Amino acid sequence: MSNIGQTVAWVAPNVLWITLLVYLLLHPEVAEKWGAVINSLISKISKGAERRSVALDIQGRLNSFSKSLNSEVAGIIPYGVQIEWVIGEVSKESFLRENKIILRLGYHTNQDDNVIRAVLEYIAGGMLSSSRPHADETVMKAVDLISTKKFLEKERKTALPYFYTEIMNPYRRSNSDLDKFVQIANDLDEAGYFGRILLKELQILGVSRELSLPEEKAKEDTRRFMDFLDRKVLKKRTRIDVSPTFVSDSISLSIVYVGITDNIDPQINWINTCIIKGIDRVYVCARGAYNISLVKKLRDRLGSSKKLSEIFCDEFKVTKLGLKSGATICLCYDLKKD
């Protein structure tokens, strides 16, 4: 064989292995899932391998889910996850170590139970950790339940019936406020605004009050904010037009819809009014291809303004509302005070 042939014969497979290694290093959640597959084969002869397989599978799915949610709300879950199965009484179920949420859980033969408990603990410990002392506990429990539902829809649909029967439904039956907030959070998720508006505002709340003592007023603000989102974004419970603005000591924003007419001057004028009034943020929302084009036109016209800065502009499809066109846009501005 010529030198060139020998070189090609050596380089080709090694390039493949190096490429695979780099991919797995950049996507650790994929490596964990493959580790779970390998361990599941060994688990037929080893209980320890079975537990490692389950842990790696859950870790991979949680890391994949957190990456997906972080793409929607930047930094919403800043931590990785590591599962440690504990025999006997579990003294502390989760803590932070080396930028990972360590979940210490008892192992159950019901794998749906293992997955759901791990997800609930990971979300409660790793998502919105700075916000939790300042937000209403019932609101946060609703957020945790719907976030877990989102995970299961994406990563383990077969566990949804168990989750509804054993976890969510008993919680909802035991607390009417929680039942209401779960419904609002779920409706927001189906409309595409659970992460983009609700989680984003709770995240900002945590950042703005991180060094402050928790106050009941801030917690009550989050309850009123949920009611505002129910009336304004979801437009339920009342036919009366609701003010587009929510203002409290903790949360300050306005939600503007584009559509019905071709004229976007009223929306631009309203955003300028919000700047004058000292509102912190404005969300501009629209559904349907033509209305989305109007939002982009509004965005172009406001692009040179020094009184606002764009936080994000997301285009996405809403698939749960049975719409002919689920194309949706959500544009968020941070407003600078006059």
Q: What is the CATH number of domain 251-338?
A: 3.30.110.20
pTM: 0.84
Mean pLDDT confidence for 104-111: 91
pLDDT value at position 325?
62
Contact 168, 149 (CB under 8 A): yes
Amino acid occupying residue 21:
L
d(CA 254, CA 244): 5
186 C-beta neighbours (distance < 10 Å), count: 18
- Give the model's confidence band at 243: pLDDT under 50 very low, under 70 low, under 90 confident, else very high: confident
Distance separating alpha carbons of residues 1 and 78, to the nearest angstrom? 53
Q: Residue 328, Cα to own-chain centre: how many angstroms?
A: 17
**Does residue 239 have a pLDDT over 50?**
no
Dig out the tokens for 117 from the structure.
């408990």
The angle subtended at Cα 259 by Cα 336 and Cα 320, nearest 5°, is 100
CA angle 337, 277, 332 (to 5 degrees): 65
Per-residue pLDDT reduced to its tens digit, 285-298: 999 999 999 999 99
* Mean pLDDT calculated for residue range 104-118: 93
User: How confident is the model at residue 41, as a pLDDT?
Assistant: 52
Q: What is the DSSP letter of 212?
A: S
> Where do the structural domains in the chain lie, given as residue ranges?
22-127, 137-242, 251-338
Residue 279 has pLDDT above 50, yes or no: yes
- Residue 255 CA to residue 37 CA, distance in Å, equals 46
DSSP states along 162-181: HHIIIIIHHHHHH-HHHHHH
